[in-house]
């Protein structure tokens, strides 16, 4: 390969050595040199570059925040080993921060390329000049500014190595004038220069034998074993299933771990936490032994009570073990390798006691499923959002990818959508940022253009950036080998998740001035862009609309007019939550609708007895 002509081209070349070939971004003069060099490597780029391979892909999104979200999601969906976004300095870099925090908090390797004020003008109050080093110091696991052409090799290498090894964000600051300088591909063999490698470091395998033996002793002593599986267990479904069966355990999943175990499994109790199931609540509150695999789910009140259970934790990062529950043994290692090494050490559960625990777990799971189905089919003033999501489950193609935004859509995804092996869902799991759903869907489709993608959004998230990013979908969809890209907008003209938090946590009626949002004809907007669209208002048409959307020959948006007063029922309702919810109805203009839609089930017997409410009919 001929030597790159300038620093920008050298950056691209060195990133390619690490497997970075897809870039999400938005141009600007601060990073103009990068975007000038990029076409030489893209299949549909500019003039021929001789021996330079055309192995890069650039996805122009509508906002830099989307670029960073998509870079993170691209890794989550298995598209790239390292996600990458390229944005200009100043406002562009500031916009990208939110998506980069998503990558940091969900431990995804991402490299952010930030344009910057020319070195000759830095410190002079130039237009768009901000202190990028200070601004990104918290989000970045590694941060460096390329000030000399000879630094490209070692800075890019260390950025990629750190992102992979520490599963974090690396930031490379690229002053606009440095990007245009002649490249120094091989730094001199002299003092003050580095010669670095683009070979990734080896990955962590299984823990030492003694640690595995200690973990097995704890697990073998238990009779009622519960497993909590998170994002760190993804890719270890077979091993996790084998260990769960050996222990006769029930399995609950953290939000990012959904799908690691077939949701149809009778001993999979489903989601845990505020958006979780009563089955997971009972599993955790009645177990005597807990195995945590790849999760640091922060709602510790949904774990076993302190001192209730002996516990073992598995995580690829040892610093994340023992920070949510008092564990006896912490195993630092890859989930699949560690579970495989642990399996032959586990005693086989036999006899009535082993079957009895699993029977309890399966009964809790059946009870939750019956209750959830009844909720979904209950009469509501407008469409029941739970029914809309549940009707999707059996229609999802076997290889579907699901992208979810933050809000009530997250709850219905966690509780009502059944994922089967081969399907994958994801979202901004720890940052829980609104506006991530459409960027995630776009990244999923770029990672796997031959697989169908379904995005689940509330109308608040759709208005935040989904409306604009639908333009990105319109721009690129004709390149996809499978055109199926379905966007569900749960439209209720309300920021309903926050409304329910206001009722349940504060005991106050939500203020329409802050909670109500405009009614927008989303399906018409999709149609105007040349995409498919349908407005769904009829309960009887839910199934037919899903079938139409999933069979469309182009991206399709479903604008479902759902009821905003469907209560978000916690898996365990505390007395204070019940009282707050009931008290909020005294001043809530939607009280009659809320009661009609089942809030009496939410507040439960505690609030009825304390407040003197009539018994359930």
End-to-end CA distance of the chain: 78
Structure tokens at 87: 């944005």
Separation in Å, CA 494 to CA 145, 508, 520, 596, 597: 44, 16, 12, 18, 16
* Selection from 2-11, 377-386, 573-582 with the highest mean pLDDT: 377-386
pLDDT of 600 higher than 50: no
Give the residue from 446, 493, 435, 495 showing the smallest Cα distance to 469. Answer: 435
User: Which sequence spans correspond to the domains of the chain?
Assistant: 7-179, 209-367, 378-605
* DSSP one-letter string for 147-197: -SGGGHHHHHHHHHHHHHHHTSEEEEEEEHHHHTSBP-SS--SSTT-----
In this structure, is the dihedral angle defined by the CA atoms of residues 59, 392, 569 and 420, taken in order, positive or negative?
negative
Give the residue from 296, 292, 297, 332 showing the smallest Cα distance to 313. Answer: 292
Residue 521 neighbours by CB distance under 10 Å: 13
* DSSP one-letter string for 506-557: I--PPPHHHHB-----HHHHHHHTT-EEEEE--GGGHHHHHHHHHT-SS-EE
Give the residue from 395, 389, 362 showing the smallest Cα distance to 377. Answer: 389
pLDDT in tens, 421-457: 999 999 999 999 999 999 999 999 999 999 999 999 9
- 56 falls in which pLDDT band (50, 70, 90)? very high
pLDDT in tens, 301-324: 999 999 999 999 999 999 999 999
Describe the crossing of helices 335-342 and 209-221 by its angle, rounded to 10 degrees: 70
Q: What's residue 565's pLDDT? A: 86
pLDDT in tens, 236-246: 999 999 999 99
Structure tokens at 160: 């990629």
pLDDT of 178 higher than 90: yes
- 418 falls in which pLDDT band (50, 70, 90)? very high
Give the residue from 175, 103, 115 showing the smallest Cα distance to 139. Answer: 103
Range scoring the smallest mean pLDDT among 425-434, 485-494, 547-556, 569-578:
569-578
- d(Cα 362, Cα 283) in Å, to the nearest integer? 10
In the chain, the percentage of residues whose pLDDT exceeds 90 is: 78
Look up the CATH number of domain 7-179: 3.40.50.970
| C-alpha angle 13-65-111 in degrees, rounded to nearest 5 | 30
* Total-model pTM: 0.92
Instruction: Identify the CATH class of 209-367.
Output: alpha beta
Look up the CATH number of domain 378-605: 3.40.50.970
465 backbone dihedrals φ, ψ, rounded to 5°: -150, -5
Is the pLDDT higher at 19 or at 612?
19
Task: Specify whether the CB–CB gap between 59 and 24 falls below 8 A.
Answer: yes
What integer is the mean pLDDT of 580-601? 52
Q: What's residue 593's pLDDT? A: 56
DSSP one-letter code for 291:
E
Segment (H or E) for 358: helix 351-377
What integer is the mean pLDDT of 130-157? 97
pLDDT of 46 higher than 70: no
pLDDT in tens, 247-293: 999 999 999 999 999 999 999 999 999 899 999 999 999 999 999 99
Task: Specify whether the CB–CB gap between 271 and 247 falls below 8 A.
Answer: no
Task: Specify whether the CB–CB gap between 565 and 594 falls below 8 A.
Answer: yes
Q: Do domains 7-179 and 378-605 have the same CATH topology?
A: yes
Q: What is the mean pLDDT of the chain?
A: 91
pLDDT in tens, 465-475: 999 999 999 99
């Amino acid at each position: 390969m001929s030597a790159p002509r300038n620093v920008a081209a050298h950056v691209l070349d060195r990133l390619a050595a690490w497997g970075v070939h897809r870039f999400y971004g938005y141009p600007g003069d601060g990073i103009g040199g990068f975007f000038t060099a990029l076409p030489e490597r893209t299949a549909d780029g500019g003039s021929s570059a001789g021996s330079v391979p055309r192995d890069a892909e650039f996805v122009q999104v509508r906002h830099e925040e989307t670029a960073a979200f998509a870079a993170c999601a691209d890794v989550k969906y298995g598209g790239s080993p390292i996600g990458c976004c390229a944005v200009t300095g100043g406002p562009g870099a500031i916009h990208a921060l939110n998506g980069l925090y998503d990558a940091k908090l969900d431990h995804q390797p991402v490299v952010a390329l930030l344009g910057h004020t020319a070195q000759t003008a830095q410190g002079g109050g130039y237009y768009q000049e901000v202190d990028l080093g200070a601004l990104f110091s918290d989000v970045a696991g590694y941060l460096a500014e390329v000030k000399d052409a000879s630094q490209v090799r070692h800075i890019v290498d260390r950025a990629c190595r750190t992102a992979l090894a520490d599963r974090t964000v690396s930031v490379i600051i690229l002053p606009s004038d440095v990007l245009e300088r002649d490249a120094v591909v091989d730094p001199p063999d002299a003092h003050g220069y580095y010669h670095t490698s683009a070979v990734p470091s080896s990955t962590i395998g299984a823990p030492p034998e003694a640690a595995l033996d200690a973990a097995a002793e704890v697990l073998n002593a238990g009779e009622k074993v519960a497993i909590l599986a998170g994002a760190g267990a993804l890719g270890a479904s077979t091993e996790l299933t084998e260990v769960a069966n050996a222990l006769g355990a029930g399995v609950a999943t953290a939000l990012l771990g959904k799908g690691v175990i077939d949701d149809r499994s009778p001993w999979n109790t489903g989601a845990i936490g505020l958006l979780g199931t009563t089955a997971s609540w009972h599993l955790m509150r009645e177990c005597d032994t807990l195995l945590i695999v790849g999760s640091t789910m922060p709602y510790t009140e949904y774990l076993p009570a302190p001192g209730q259970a002996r516990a073992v934790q598995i995580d690829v990062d040892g610093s994340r073990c023992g920070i949510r529950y008092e564990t006896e043994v912490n195993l630092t290692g890859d989930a699949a390798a560690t579970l495989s090494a642990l399996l032959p050490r586990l005693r086989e559960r036999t006899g009535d006691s082993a079957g009895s625990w699993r029977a309890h777990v399966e009964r809790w799971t059946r009870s939750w499923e019956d209750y959830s189905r009844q909720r979904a089919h209950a009469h509501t003033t407008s469409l029941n959002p739970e029914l809309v999501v549940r009707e999707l489950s059996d229609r999802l193609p076997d290889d579907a990818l699901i992208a979810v935004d933050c809000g009530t859509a997250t709850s219905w995804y966690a509780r009502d959508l059944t994922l089967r092996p081969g399907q994958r869902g994801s979202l901004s799991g720890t940052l829980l940022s609104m506006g991530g759903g459409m960027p995630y869907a776009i990244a999923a489709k770029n990672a796997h253009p031959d697989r169908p993608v379904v995005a689940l959004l509330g109308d608040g998230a759709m208005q935040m950036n989904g409306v604009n990013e639908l333009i990105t979908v319109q721009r690129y969809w004709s390149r996809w080998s499978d055109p199926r890209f379905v966007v569900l907008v749960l439209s209720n003209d309300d920021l309903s998740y926050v409304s329910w938090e206001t009722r349940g946590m504060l005991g106050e009626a939500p203020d329409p001035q802050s909670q109500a949002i405009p009614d927008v004809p989303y399906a018409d907007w999709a149609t105007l862009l040349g995409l498919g669209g349908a407005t769904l208002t009829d309960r009887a048409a839910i199934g037919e609309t899903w079938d139409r959307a999933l069979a469309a020959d182009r991206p399709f948006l479903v604008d479902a007019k759902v009821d905003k007063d469907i209560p978000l029922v916690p898996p365990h309702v505390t007395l204070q939550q019940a009282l707050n919810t009931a008290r909020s109805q005294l001043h809530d203009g939607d009280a009659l609708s809320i009661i009609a839609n089942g809030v009496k089930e939410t507040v439960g017997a505690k609030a009825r007895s304390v407040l003197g409410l009539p018994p359930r009919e």
